[in-house]
Structure 1
């Protein structure tokens, strides 16, 4: 005995231009029948939250599937999978497509060469799928946009749930972030961790989906923007604070990556206030309160 619920959608051209669209969502559990062999023309994420089964590769080689786990079904790749007929499994699936799939693959969020991915916990991905299922009610005018946005969220949730990666980055990434503003080369960072530059590149690519240089640059430029917007420090001083001794090089780099020179960015985004900005992440439960001028409390 098994139970199946599913809905399929046909987003329009404008929805596809948003980057990702949801083509279908389903929730199934029990001794489900085998799937395939078949080939799809879109991506599908199958989240297994309970049970066991197996996935057959195109060459016939089987890979055991033990929940929690993710199955990646990618366009043009033959696949064949099934739960254990004695126990079945609990799955949620999402069919999706769009031009953003190429970028998510490049960043390592979608892994065509790794069809079976162990997860540490399927709770967060299944919660996203459940919201997509609720959005699939008949007559929902926001259906395509709501479910398309949820595909982005699902990919992030699946990335965080991978069993081989810490949710917020491994110690190497945390160390790189901590030392991002020091005038150190990639080779210097690698040596600090007892790694070769190639090993560091592989670790950062696996954890952050980019090169160490781009990882560090993103942190440096983000901090530079904050200093330009919230302080009156000269551009040269901002450059030094984020790890660049040559302000001219910093300005060229900032302009190339941000699209506008530092001085122009400050003119557009400057919000200097007495006391400066806080580095503390705000607590959503402790919202700021606006008080009328001259009003005293306490």
Structure 2
């Protein structure tokens, strides 16, 4: 993967939130060419996506060799020491959560209690998520959207092993998934689409799950509901109009699906956020002065 940016960046959300509830994201950043080893006593919940490179990773005296692509985890209370091999460098994308988020991620099975790291099997999907996140940063999307994308990235990092993307069937499925993201309100008959690809629906569904970790119907629903959530917190459009824009013409059915995903009705979800989104919502994004160094305030040193 080529560098996401020529220079690294640091983005702090702590003082930029305007909503009443959040997912606990404090900071995220990117090292395109990290040459140094970090040693510190951790107080937060951190996830580091090792995109390229290799090195040593030590948590509470337990040491392992890690190689990209993988995800490194640092929990509150961990003594950490890690970095690339001597005279080596690695590419790292990371984000930091408040310590109380450990309970939520553990209970959701995204994070196992004894997990120090895990390999990324479907790097294609992870790469797409990272690029979507960096696009959201560049376009000054609300902090709420950034938090959702970070959580999606974590879930995606545990998807099944990727398959051969040169395969004609897989290429067709990828094109279809992309069209759903771009135009999620369109009605689709997955049985007919499978037949057009020369597949039984069961084979089509199995291939889709290998790529994206969920069935095609669930994938489409997730894209629609996620877009609806973004519209709810970034516009003042009526819920019924938003439902139609994402492909649901029955507001009651849309509300049922939305509540199943977010545990709140669309109206209550919107009320949990401020009605207006000021331009400074995300706070400043500061590029690094050097390719391998990110200046951080003392409170954020790790």
TM-score (norm: length of structure 2):
0.46
Q: Relative contact order (alpha carbons < 8 A, sep ≥ 6): 1 or 2 greater?
A: 2
Say which one has the larger Rg. 1
TM-score (norm: length of structure 1):
0.46
